Structure 1
Amino acid sequence: MRMARIFVSAAVVGILLAGCGGQNGSGTSSPGPSESVAAASNGVADLTAEEILTKATAALETARSYQFKGEMGGDDGLMSIDLKVDGEDVAASLVQAGSTIHVLVVDGQPYFKANAKFWKEMAGEEGAGMAKLVGGRWVKVDPDDKAFADLFLLADPREMLAVEGGVVKGESKTIDAGPAIALVSKEDDSTLYVATTGEPRPLLIVGPGNEGEVVISRFGDSFPEIKVPAESEVLDFTEFSSNP
């Protein structure tokens, strides 16, 4: 699934290097017994893999608010992910090997903040200085800056569930969130589980080799924590737009 790739390349490399240059509620879900689900009341199990993926994407768009939470494998080990989406507003936290980055998009305005280790690892010799300059504040960036455009992909269900190379249908089984059918990536064997009862929502992403899993839940919830940070907590970088 493209989800982990979006987080790593967009939120980390795209934001820091290009831009700055110089489960909650449902518990941990995991595949349950291998028993088949006898009936798929919403009918998606009878569709092709690509048709199921289309239905799942549409169901996520219809829900408008939801949470992705869990861990996914990466080059430096498991990455902890907590992404909340409320319409077009987003709050995301990523932690890997002690490096932390938070992303916030409210009313189309993006912000991010990172810990000192993250700055030092991603900005090389300038990292320590950037960490000292920014401190614990949010960095406000120009929403029209193309260097930061990938921030908005975090809230796009079509991008979150996009699969390079296509998917094939796996088996139907019951996971913690209920009956579901597996869609397996042809590229890396990561697996997306889609509900076969009720709305055909995506419920769970399992990483290649069963390394890490991300639960998709809290459909329709509100997230009051997604809000504009206090002015005293913001460092405005909008004047440093990289657009010509």
Structure 2
Amino acid sequence: MTAIPPGRTRRATLVSAICALVVTGVGLTGCSSEDPDAGTNGVGKLTPEKIQAKTRAAAVSAGAVRLSGTVVAGGSTYKLDMRLKDDGGTGSVTAEGAAFELLRIGEQLYLKADTAFWDPEGGEGDAAAGKLDGKYVKVPEGDPSYKRFSGFTDKDVLLDSLLTLHGTLKNDGRHEQSGVRTVRITGDQGSGGTLDVSLEGKPYPLRLVRGGDAGTLTFSAWGEDFALNEPKKSETVDYGQQLPTS
């Protein structure tokens, strides 16, 4: 049996004694060899700028995502629940008390809403609004509404505009979102927004609080594909070159 050198024995005894002080509440640190980044994807060790770059790259490369929450833009608040992928998206939008559904497959955009959406003033005998009630209406690409509404179904457009923090970036430590460990980065100490990035698996963004009280969004189902199905002809109305206006 190989003898342990006396010096090594004394060092081991000293380390044990110091660590015992921690247990009894003296408050010394450094005795644990546990790595806080063990089992993570490692982005927590990076600078805030690199974390932001990594999460944007992961988001862009993902084939699909579910986005839900609120966005404040142009003086209006939009409540979103959208599933998005590279060739389209589907989901619901609520704005100023009016709710509607969107479906985009390739370049074809459909909008589905009730009579109150098409005729917010509640005018009597509005035959057009009645015909559109609960139907998928093809939105012509030349209609002013096309660009406005199609943006809600465009994964790249939405992520590019949303996943940006403003001001000086800082690391706000470790947090958790829906049971997933995250690292949080902030812009101008939160006034420029905060973003929680997953420390598990790919560094996807999981929660965004936009700066200037411009809304809060959560991201989930990253990379989970879903079907985009054309509505039945009996459920579809082709209104022509321009949608009706109230």
Q: Which amino acid aligns with 1:194?
A: V
Does the 8 Å CA contact 1:49/1:167 hold for their aligned counterparts?
no
Q: How much does 1:227 deviate?
A: 1.3
Does the 8 Å CA contact 1:204/1:213 hold for their aligned counterparts?
yes
Does the 8 Å CA contact 2:166/2:211 hold for their aligned counterparts?
no
Partner of 1:43: 42
Identify the match of residue 241 of structure 2 among 234, 239, 242: 239
Partner of 2:132: 134
Superposed CA deviations along residues 87-107 of structure 1, whole A, max 9, x for unmatched, are: 322002023564202111112
Q: How much does 1:230 deviate?
A: 1.1
Give the TM-score normalised by structure 1: 0.65
Provide the rounded CA distance (Å) in 1 between the counterparts of 2:48 and 2:63.
Answer: 23
Superposed CA deviations along residues 62-100 of structure 1, whole A, max 9, x for unmatched, are: 22112113x326599975421101332200202356420
Provide the rounded CA distance (Å) in 2 between the counterparts of 1:127 and 1:175.
Answer: 48
Q: Which amino acid aligns with 1:141?
A: V
Superposition pairs for residues 28-107 of structure 1, below 5 Å?
38-39=36-37, 41-69=40-68, 71-72=69-70, 74=72, 80-96=79-95, 98-107=97-106
Superposition pairs for residues 16-35 of structure 1, below 5 Å?
none
Q: How much does 1:194 deviate?
A: 0.8
**SS of residue paired to 2:241:** helix
Q: Which has the higher contact order (CA 8 A, sep 6+)?
A: 1
Provide the rounded CA distance (Å) in 2 between the counterparts of 1:177 and 1:160.
Answer: 27
Q: Which amino acid aligns with 1:214?
A: L
Partner of 2:17: none
Provide the rounded CA distance (Å) in 1 between the counterparts of 2:211 and 2:125.
Answer: 35
Provide the rounded CA distance (Å) in 1 between the counterparts of 2:81 and 2:43.
Answer: 28
Q: How much does 1:140 deviate?
A: 0.8
Provide the rounded CA distance (Å) in 2 between the counterparts of 1:48 and 1:145.
Answer: 44
- CA RMSD, aligned part only? 3.7
Does the 8 Å CA contact 2:165/2:186 hold for their aligned counterparts?
no
- Alignment coverage as a number of residue pairs: 201
Higher Cα radius of gyration: 2
Percentage of identical aligned residues: 24
Q: How much does 1:165 deviate?
A: 3.4
Gaps of 5+ in 1: 1-36
Identify the match of residue 199 of structure 1 among 197, 202, 224: 202
**SS of residue paired to 2:175:** strand
Partner of 1:216: 219
Q: How much does 1:47 deviate?
A: 3.3
**SS of residue paired to 2:166:** coil
Partner of 1:178: 180
**SS of residue paired to 1:117:** helix
Provide the rounded CA distance (Å) in 2 between the counterparts of 1:38 and 1:63.
Answer: 27
Identify the match of residue 148 of structure 1 among 146, 149, 167: 146
Provide the rounded CA distance (Å) in 1 between the counterparts of 2:215 and 2:139.
Answer: 32
Superposed CA deviations along residues 144-194 of structure 1, whole A, max 9, x for unmatched, are: 657523414632154253437356233322222412122334585542211
**SS of residue paired to 2:231:** coil
Partner of 1:168: 169
Provide the rounded CA distance (Å) in 1 between the counterparts of 2:196 and 2:178.
Answer: 11
Provide the rounded CA distance (Å) in 2 between the counterparts of 1:104 and 1:207.
Answer: 26
Q: Which amino acid aligns with 1:235?
A: V
Q: Which amino acid aligns with 1:174?
A: E
Q: Which amino acid aligns with 2:220?
A: S
Partner of 2:114: 115
Superposed CA deviations along residues 20-47 of structure 1, whole A, max 9, x for unmatched, are: xxxxxxxxxxxxxxxxx93273332333
Which shifted more, 105-114 or 174-183?
174-183
Provide the rounded CA distance (Å) in 1 between the counterparts of 2:141 and 2:167.
Answer: 32
